[in-house]
C-alpha cells in the first residue's frame, strides 16, 4: 500500500510508526495534513518539494540514489541511506538531509549553488513540524473513456494469434477491434497513460501491456481476453517499460526500460524474477530466442546483446555496434532477430554468439538490411510465417519486403506522419498500421490495397 493509501486510515492510527519505526511522531491523515498546511504549517507539496526538485533530486532519485538516498517522496526520505536517515520527523538535529545543507560550508548540493538561508529554514521548520506529507492520493481508475479533441497518437499494436482481435494503444486505454468486421468493440480503461508495448500471449488468452510514467514508474498489466478484465497491475522500476515480449511458455515476460535494465517478470502477477543492467543506455527492445533459453536485448547504446534467459548473464554482443536500436523483433521459426535503427533502416541478425576468431571490424552475424528511411526506422513486424518483414520510418511510409533476399512486396504511402505501430494478421494477408496522425489503416497483402482507414475513437468531445 502506498503512503497515500495509508493516510486514508482513521486519524487515530499511527500509520507512520507502522511503516517507519524510526520516525518520532504520528502523522495525520491526508485531509488533516492539508488542513494543517492551510493553517500555517509548511506544505511539502507547495514549499518543500520544489526546493528538493531544483537542488537535490538530480542526484537522489530512484534511478540514481547517491549515498543510497532517494529524496523524491516523504516516504523515501524516511528510509536510511548510507550515512543515516535523511528526514526524522520532528527531529531536525537527527535529519541527515538537513545537516548536509546547513552551515557556512554545506556538504550538499555537490553541484550548483548552495541553498539560501530561507530555503534551509523552510526544510528545518517542515521537519520540526512533523514532516507532514500533503501529497494528494493518486486518482482512482477511470470510469469513463478519455475525451479527444484531436485524433490521438496511436502506437503499439498486436494481432491476436487466432486473428479475431486487433489491439491498439491509445492514450491511457487500449482499443480492441473486431479484426473481422474492423469495428471497435472494447476500450480497456485504466491502462498506463503512456503505453509503449502490448502483446498477446502465445495461447491468445491474455494481452500484456507495458508502459508507465516517465521517471516515476513502469507499469505492467495483463488483461484476460475472455471478458476483457484486467487481471494484473504491477509497478515495475522507476521508469516507463519500453519493450515487452512473452516467453514461449506463456508464464514469463521480458521487459526493457530507460534505466538500462532488462527484467523478466512473472506474467501472472508482474513480480520481478530476474533483472540486470546489461546496457549502457535505454533498453528499447527484447526478444526471446532459442525456445526461451536465451534473450536478445537492444538499446540506444547501438548494441544487440545475447543474454542467458534464466540469469540474464551476458553471453555476447551480437552485432558490430552501428546505430541506436529503437525496436526489436524475433523472426518466427528461426534464430534471427531484426531491429529498427534510429538513423537509417532495419537490419537482420543471427542471434548467435560470434565466432571467437572473428575480426572485431567485421559483423559475422549480420544477414541483411532493408529499405532505408531518411529519418530512421520507427517500427517493424514479421509476418507469422517469417517470410515477410514490414518496416516503417520517418518522415512517413511503410514497406513490406521478403526476408530472404529483401525483394519488395508492397509499399504504402499516404500516411500523414510517422508510423509507430505495425501488425500482421494471423495469416499474413493483412497489415495494420498506425501512428502520429491517429488513423488506423489496414492493407491487403501482397497487393498493398488499402482496406480500412479511420480514426478509432470519437473526436471533439
pLDDT, tens digit, 9 for 90 and up, residues 154-206: 999 999 999 999 999 999 999 999 998 899 999 999 898 899 999 999 999 99
Asked whether the beta carbons of 69 and 80 are under 8 A apart, the reply is: no
The position carrying cell 533476399 is 405
Q: How confident is the model at residue 415 (pLDDT cuts 50, 70, 90)?
A: very high
Q: What is the mean pLDDT of the chain?
A: 87
Q: Which CATH number fits domain 157-454: 1.20.58.1290, 2.130.10.10, 3.20.20.70, 3.30.70.940?
A: 2.130.10.10
* Region for residue 8 given its phi and psi (left: phi exceeds 0; alpha: psi -120 to 50; beta: otherwise): alpha
C-alpha cell at 70: 532517494
Task: Report pLDDT for 39.
Answer: 56
Cα distances (angstroms) measured from residue 271 to each of 117, 123, 228, 232, 254:
45, 36, 22, 10, 11
Largest interatomic CA distance in the chain = 75
* pLDDT tens for each residue of 329-348: 999 989 999 999 999 999 99
Where exactly are the structural domains of the chain?
3-128, 157-454
Mean pLDDT, residues 10-15 taken together: 32
Q: Which of 14-23, 102-111, 451-460 has the lowest mean pLDDT?
A: 14-23
CA dist 143 and 100 (Å) reads 46
Query: Which helix (H) or strand (E) element contains residue 440?
Result: strand 440-444
| Beta-strand runs (E) in 260-344 | 261-266, 272-277, 283-289, 294-299, 304-308, 314-317, 325-330, 336-341
Asked whether the beta carbons of 225 and 231 are under 8 A apart, the reply is: no
| Beta-strand runs (E) in 334-375 | 336-341, 345-350, 366-372
Mean pLDDT, residues 314-339 taken together: 94
* pLDDT tens for each residue of 344-403: 999 999 999 988 766 767 899 999 999 999 999 999 999 999 999 999 999 999 999 999
CA dist 111 and 57 (Å) reads 12
Q: How confident is the model at residue 140 (pLDDT cuts 50, 70, 90)?
A: low
Where helices occur in 49-148 by DSSP H, the ranges are 49-55, 74-77, 96-101, 117-128
Amino acid at each position: 500500500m502506498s503512503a497515500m493509501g495509508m493516510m486514508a486510515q482513521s486519524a487515530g492510527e499511527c500509520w507512520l510508526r507502522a511503516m517507519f519505526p524510526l520516525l518520532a511522531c504520528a502523522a495525520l491523515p491526508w485531509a488533516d495534513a492539508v488542513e494543517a498546511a492551510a493553517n500555517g504549517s509548511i506544505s511539502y507539496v507547495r514549499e518543500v518539494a520544489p526546493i528538493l526538485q531544483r537542488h537535490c533530486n538530480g542526484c537522489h532519485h530512484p534511478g540514481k540514489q547517491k549515498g543510497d538516498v532517494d529524496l523524491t517522496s516523504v516516504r523515501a526520505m524516511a528510509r536510511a541511506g548510507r550515512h543515516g536517515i535523511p528526514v526524522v520527523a520532528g527531529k531536525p538535529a537527527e535529519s541527515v538531509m538537513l545537516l548536509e545543507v546547513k552551515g557556512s560550508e554545506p556538504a550538499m548540493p555537490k553541484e550548483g549553488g548552495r541553498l539560501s538561508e530561507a530555503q534551509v529554514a523552510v526544510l528545518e521548520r517542515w521537519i520540526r513540524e512533523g514532516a507532514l506529507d500533503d501529497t494528494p492520493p493518486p486518482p482512482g481508475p477511470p470510469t469513463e473513456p478519455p475525451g479527444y479533441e484531436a485524433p490521438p497518437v496511436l502506437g503499439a499494436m498486436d494481432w491476436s494469434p487466432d486473428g479475431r482481435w486487433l489491439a491498439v494503444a491509445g492514450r491511457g486505454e487500449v482499443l480492441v477491434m473486431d479484426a473481422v468486421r474492423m469495428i471497435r468493440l472494447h476500450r480497456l480503461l485504466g491502462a498506463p497513460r503512456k503505453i509503449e508495448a502490448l502483446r498477446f500471449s502465445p495461447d491468445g488468452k491474455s494481452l500484456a501491456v507495458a508502459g508507465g510514467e516517465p521517471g516515476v514508474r513502469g507499469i505492467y498489466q495483463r488483461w484476460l481476453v475472455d471478458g476483457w478484465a484486467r487481471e494484473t497491475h504491477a509497478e515495475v522500476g522507476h521508469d516507463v517499460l519500453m519493450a515487452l515480449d512473452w516467453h514461449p511458455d506463456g508464464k514469463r515476460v521480458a521487459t526493457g526500460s530507460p534505466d538500462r535494465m532488462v527484467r523478466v517478470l512473472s506474467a501472472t502477477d508482474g513480480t520481478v524474477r530476474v533483472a540486470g543492467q546489461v546496457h549502457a543506455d535505454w533498453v528499447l527492445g527484447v526478444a526471446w530466442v532459442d525456445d526461451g533459453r536465451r534473450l536478445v536485448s537492444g538499446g540506444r547504446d547501438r548494441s544487440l546483446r545475447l543474454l542467458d534467459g534464466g540469469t540474464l548473464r551476458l553471453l555476447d554482443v551480437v552485432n558490430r555496434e552501428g546505430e541506436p536500436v529503437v525496436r526489436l523483433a524475433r523472426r518466427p521459426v528461426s534464430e534471427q532477430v531484426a531491429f529498427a535503427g534510429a538513423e537509417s533502416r532495419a537490419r537482420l541478425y543471427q542471434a548467435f554468439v560470434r565466432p571467437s576468431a572473428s575480426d572485431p571490424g567485421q559483423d559475422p552475424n549480420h544477414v541483411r538490411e532493408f529499405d532505408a528511411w531518411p529519418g530512421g526506422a520507427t517500427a517493424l513486424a514479421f509476418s507469422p510465417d517469417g517470410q515477410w518483414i514490414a518496416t516503417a520510418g520517418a518522415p512517413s511510409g511503410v514497406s513490406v519486403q521478403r526476408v530472404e533476399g529483401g525483394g519488395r512486396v508492397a509499399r504504402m504511402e499516404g500516411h500523414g506522419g510517422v508510423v509507430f505501430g505495425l501488425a500482421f494478421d494471423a495469416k499474413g494477408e493483412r497489415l495494420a498500421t498506425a501512428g502520429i496522425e491517429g488513423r488506423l489503416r489496414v492493407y491487403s497483402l501482397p497487393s498493398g490495397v488499402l482496406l480500412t482507414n479511420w480514426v478509432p475513437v470519437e473526436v471533439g468531445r
